[in-house]
Amino acid sequence: MEYDDLMKQAEEHNKKMHRTKDINVNDCLTYEDRDAIAKIIDKRVAKEYGDMYPFHWSFTCEGHFIC
pLDDT tens string 17-29: 776 777 888 889 9
Count CB atoms within 10 A of the CB of residue 61. Answer: 12
- Total domains present in the chain: 1
Q: What is the DSSP letter of 66?
A: B
pLDDT at 49 over 80: yes
Residue 19 contacts residue 67 (beta carbons within 8 Å): yes
- Residue 34: predicted pLDDT: 92
Count CB atoms within 10 A of the CB of residue 7. Answer: 11
C-alpha atoms less than 13 angstroms from C-alpha of 60 in its C-beta half-sphere: 2
Structural domain that includes position 19: 2-63
